[in-house]
Amino acid sequence: MKVAFFDSKNYDVESFQKFKTSGLDFKFFETKLSLDTVELARGYNAVCVFVNDVVNKEVIDKLISFNVQLIALRCAGYNNVDIKAAQGKIKVVRVPAYSPNAVAEHTMALLLTSVRRIHKAYIRIKDFNFSLSGLTGFDLCGKTIGVIGTGKIGKEFIDICNGFKMNVLAYDIAQNKDVKAKYTDLNTLFEKSDIISLHCPLTPQTQYIINKKSIEKMKKGVVIINTSRGALINADDLLEGIKSRKIGAACLDVYEEEAGVFFNDFSGHIIDDDTLARLITMPNVILTSHQAFLTTEALNNIAETTINNILDIEKNNSSKNEVII
């Protein structure tokens, strides 16, 4: 089976090349998959895509016309794929759990960096400025954190929060009996939480779950963390919440309009997205470029699961990780 990889980075090539003996033929393209680039998939049996590739109905129809049999996502989320357009015509598989620990640990790293002002201290020390002025943080112990989404990543993050002796409130449409947290409704979570962390998938129900109305219900000075999907937060409403001092800090590893920006080097260039540019300038905003997944262990798991998904489809025409609606 010939597989075309889109939006490929050096770490993708390194992790997948370990499986050259699988009998699969790899071709790595740096460009993202879209209607403009889909012609590159001609002659391949499968395409392997990531979070910012555009796999809408038009792209899927093109893939089918090229006799592409499989769309292999090397990520957990599949909101960028039109699953309805694919059903019964082309298989779609994903990596449901590559390393919940990686994302959960990055989430806590962002939170600790923010509340203990580590990023500011690091920059200050580089200038030999050893003053502590303006670096006062707060203890996590005893604070109430609201976790929205209690799947594998959410559960791991809650376990970490329990280790810090935090009071954990949780919300999910399906409660997880293994989660050590107090489940509550969204309004209560918004009203009671000192910190809110998002770990839910992007669906029509969760899109903009953080918006002007939900922000109004929150405590003054609330810290908001998002390491899941950018469109869970209305970025303009977030910015207004920060400017009005309602939101005390924001820790973001994802952004709704990140496609075409994240994973690229724009140093020396002007970013056209005014909202993103404003967020970056805010002293109480920490933003990383969708790197929560980026550990050696996670990359190995992504590659291994993706390869197994492709081989399962090739040999059995089915996979336990097939996306079916």
Of the residues 156, 256, 258, 314, which is catalytic? 258
Residues 192 and 42: beta-carbon distance below 8 Å: no
Q: Is 74 an annotated catalytic residue?
A: no
Residues 108 and 251: beta-carbon distance below 8 Å: no
Of the residues 106, 229, 256, 314, which is catalytic? 229
Q: Is 229 an annotated catalytic residue?
A: yes
**CA–CA separation, 168 vs 43, rounded Å?**
51
Of 57, 54, 36, residue with least CA distance to 259? 54
The 3-state DSSP class for residue 135 equals coil
What angle, 0 to 180 degrees and rounded to 10, lies between the N-to-C axes of helices 235-243 and 274-281?
Answer: 40
HSE-up of 282 (CA within 13 Å, CB side)? 25
**CA Rg, the chain, in Å?**
21
Of the residues 117, 156, 290, 314, which is catalytic? 290
Q: Is 258 an annotated catalytic residue?
A: yes
The 3-state DSSP class for residue 322 equals strand
Q: Amino acid letter at 52?
A: N
**CA–CA separation, 28 vs 51, rounded Å?**
16
Burial 76-103 (b: 16+ CB within 10 A, else e): bbbebbbeebbeeebbbbbbbebbbbbb
Across the beta sheet with 182-183, the strand order is: 182-183, 167-171, 144-148, 195-198, 222-226, 247-252, 285-287
Catalytic residues: 229, 258, 290
